Amino acid sequence: MANRTEQKRKLRQERVARETAAKASEQRRRRLLTLAATTVAALAVVGVLIAVSQNGGSGKSGLGAGEAVTGTRTVQNLFRGIPQNGATLGNPNAPATMVEFVDLQCPFCADYTRSTLPSIVRRYVRPGKLKLELRPVSILGDDSTTAAAGAAAAAQSNRVWQFTDLFYLNQGEENSGYVNDSFLRGIARGVGVDPAAVIAASTSPPTSVPLLRQAATEAQNAGINRTPSFLIGRTGGQLSALQVSSYEPAQFATAIDRVLGQ
């Protein structure tokens, strides 16, 4: 009898212990879920604050109200002393030519301009071995069309390479509406181009702008459907597509050296 009573007591204790452990486990699970939800919410708030900070508090990328363009000195130093004529950068009699098709909204164009273009300019353009031809096209949307027309106006002042380079250094989110008069005015002033001319051109139909007509025709003839895209060859000869797997300077150097016979 005593053994049965003791056995029941032990079973009751074990059941209570299991119930207590289960209850404690459930409480821990709920605390963890609450902590996770709080953490996610906090991270979301931080993300929003970062986005607002990066967008100048305007809800859009590009320059916020009252912000100045960045990178003007870098751009000036890169192109200082190199001849420009319209969309051409470098010695017009350079033995090699590379044509670049760009969309000023294109983030990959910006990556190439930041990481590779400076080395090409220093190694090949400045010494007179290579000349560059810029062809602004509009692929991504209305902001692309506005930006391309503004760049064409800068070409009229022989500053299109500075214009596009500075544009990329301040590039915003695609089709967010950041390519407005204020943004274009800041880029134009940063490279020494008349802002009024750039803004006036930005509203012109692409077909009325010679550089944009030329770029569209050449892109169609070459089958260009993405940016950046490049044609390369001996100056005055047939240009062919430059195929690269990345925008590393070494890949472009290899292609340019091949054209130059180096």
Q: State the Rg of the chain over Cα.
A: 30
Q: Are 97 and 235 in contact (CB under 8 A)?
A: yes
- Answer whether residue 62 is part of any domain: no
Q: Tell the burial category of 196 from Cβ atoms under 10 Å away from its Cβ (0-12, 13-18, 19+).
A: exposed
Phi, psi at 135, each rounded to 5°? -130, 95
Q: Tell the burial category of 90 from Cβ atoms under 10 Å away from its Cβ (0-12, 13-18, 19+).
A: buried
**What tokens were used for 25?**
């486990």
Q: Which of 102, 191, 85, 88 is nearest to 147 (CA)?
A: 102
Verify that 109 and 201 share a domain, yes or no: yes
Verify that 111 and 194 share a domain, yes or no: yes
So what's the pLDDT on residue 107?
95
So what's the pLDDT on residue 69?
86
So what's the pLDDT on residue 262?
76
So what's the pLDDT on residue 5?
61
Counting every residue, how long is the chain? 262
- Answer whether residue 66 is part of any domain: no
Per-residue pLDDT of the chain (262 residues; tens, 9 = 90+): 455 566 656 656 666 556 555 555 455 444 434 433 433 333 333 333 333 333 333 334 455 444 688 999 999 999 999 999 999 999 999 999 999 999 999 999 999 999 999 999 999 999 999 999 999 999 999 999 999 999 999 999 999 999 999 999 999 999 999 999 999 999 999 999 999 999 999 888 877 889 999 999 999 999 998 999 999 999 999 999 998 888 899 999 999 999 999 7
How many structural domains comprise the chain?
2
Verify that 18 and 126 share a domain, yes or no: no
- Answer whether residue 78 is part of any domain: yes
Question: What is the spatial distance between Cα 11 and Cα 24, in angstroms, rounded to a whole number?
Answer: 20
Q: Which of 193, 167, 157 is nearest to 85 (CA)?
A: 157
- Answer whether residue 214 is part of any domain: yes
135: CB partners within 8 A, 6+ apart: 87, 99, 100, 101, 102, 211, 214, 215, 218, 219
So what's the pLDDT on residue 72?
94
**What tokens were used for 11?**
């079973």
Verify that 42 and 101 share a domain, yes or no: no
Helix, strand, or coil (residue 192): coil
Q: Are 94 and 133 in contact (CB under 8 A)?
A: no
Verify that 92 and 23 share a domain, yes or no: no
Question: What is the spatial distance between Cα 71 and Cα 79, in angstroms, rounded to a whole number?
Answer: 13
Verify that 24 and 145 share a domain, yes or no: no
So what's the pLDDT on residue 240?
95
So what's the pLDDT on residue 67?
60
Domain hosting 3: range is 1-54
- Answer whether residue 35 is part of any domain: yes
Q: Which of 44, 139, 119, 125 is nearest to 88 (CA)?
A: 125
- Answer whether residue 67 is part of any domain: no
- Answer whether residue 64 is part of any domain: no
Verify that 221 and 110 share a domain, yes or no: yes
Verify that 165 and 76 share a domain, yes or no: yes
What global pTM score does this model have?
0.74
CATH of the domain at 196: 3.40.30.10
- Answer whether residue 235 is part of any domain: yes
So what's the pLDDT on residue 203?
85
**What tokens were used for 179?**
């390519």
Verify that 143 and 246 share a domain, yes or no: yes
Verify that 224 and 135 share a domain, yes or no: yes
Verify that 15 and 98 share a domain, yes or no: no
CA triplet 234, 166, 211: central angle to 5 degrees?
Answer: 50
Verify that 196 and 247 share a domain, yes or no: yes
